[in-house]
């Protein structure tokens, strides 16, 4: 039985559902909740495990399981094996996935586009392309209310004053609203960098 085909993956700031592929992108403090989308599967009957310490599995709450990305993994930790054990019959099912992209930032604001590019290049990353930005906001920041810090309280990508209305620099020389992807004309523009595995420098 493929348990993963009967599980939906979703984030605190998006009402949509995704597959396990959502784990291909992450950031410190990111949270993914798993719930059953089948009447034949009760997550309370399952025990989840992962082979990497940068992922933390929280206890079952009302039939749901939440995984938090606690820190930036090394290259060797970017390949993850998730196990699901059926507590009723002892059957164990495994699925592996690869972290491809890691988002980081220090809440820096007010950089020019050139300054934003330089900030990312300094740490081995780059600004996101518009297509990447749209995918990012769809999965992680489709906020209908509240702020990023409220949805991801342990994330340090954005500083404490990062509000829903602020913009993010993207590679095409524009700044866009984080939640909608529409053009942003404000002054408080944040730099958000994309790091790609395995070409990443951990020194």
Other Cβ atoms less than 10 A from the Cβ of 1: the count is 11
* Rounded-to-integer distance, Cα 29 and Cα 15, Å: 18
CA atoms within 13 A on the CB side of 184: 21
Classified as helix, coil or strand, 95 is: strand
pLDDT number for residue 94:
92
Measuring CA to CA, which residue among 162, 160, 158, 154 is closest to residue 192? 158
CA distance 137 to 3: 27
Both 116 and 181 in one domain: the answer is yes
* Same domain, yes or no: 11 and 80: yes
Mark whether 12 and 94 lie in a shared domain. Answer: yes
Are 141 and 88 in the same domain?
no
Q: Rounded CA gap, 46 and 60, in Å?
A: 10
More confident residue, 124 or 13: 124
Average pLDDT over residues 126-155: 77
Each residue's pLDDT tens digit, 90-107: 999 999 999 998 988 766
Domain residue limits at 89:
3-98
Q: Please check whether residues 182 and 118 belong to one and the same domain.
A: yes
Indicate whether 203 belongs to any domain.
no
Calpha distance 200→95 (Å, rounded): 24
Given a cut of 80, whether residue 70 has pLDDT beyond it is yes
Query: Is residue 8 located within the same domain as residue 94?
Result: yes
Domain limit, last residue, from 98, 130, 160:
98
Indicate if 139 and 181 belong to the same structural domain. Answer: yes
The mean per-residue pLDDT over the stretch 162-181 comes to 76
Bigger pLDDT: 156 vs 92:
92
């Amino acid at each position: 039985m493929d348990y993963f085909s009967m599980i939906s993956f979703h984030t605190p700031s998006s009402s949509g559902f995704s597959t396990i592929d959502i784990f291909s992108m992450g950031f410190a403090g990111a949270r993914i909740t798993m719930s059953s989308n089948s009447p034949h599967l009760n997550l309370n009957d399952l025990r989840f495990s992962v082979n990497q310490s940068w992922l933390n599995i929280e206890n079952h709450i009302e039939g749901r399981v939440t995984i938090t990305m606690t820190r930036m993994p090394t290259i060797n930790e970017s390949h993850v094996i998730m196990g699901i054990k059926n507590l009723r019959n002892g059957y164990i099912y495994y699925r592996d996935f690869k972290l491809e992209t890691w988002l980081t930032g220090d809440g820096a604001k007010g950089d020019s586009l050139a300054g934003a590019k330089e900030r990312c290049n300094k740490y081995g990353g780059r600004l996101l392309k518009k297509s990447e930005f749209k995918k990012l906001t769809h999965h992680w920041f489709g906020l209908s209310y509240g702020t990023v810090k409220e949805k991801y309280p342990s994330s340090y990508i954005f500083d404490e004053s990062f509000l829903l209305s602020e913009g993010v620099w993207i590679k095409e020389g524009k700044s866009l609203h984080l939640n909608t992807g529409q053009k942003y004309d404000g002054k408080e523009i944040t730099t958000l960098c994309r790091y790609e595995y395995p070409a990443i420098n951990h020194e």
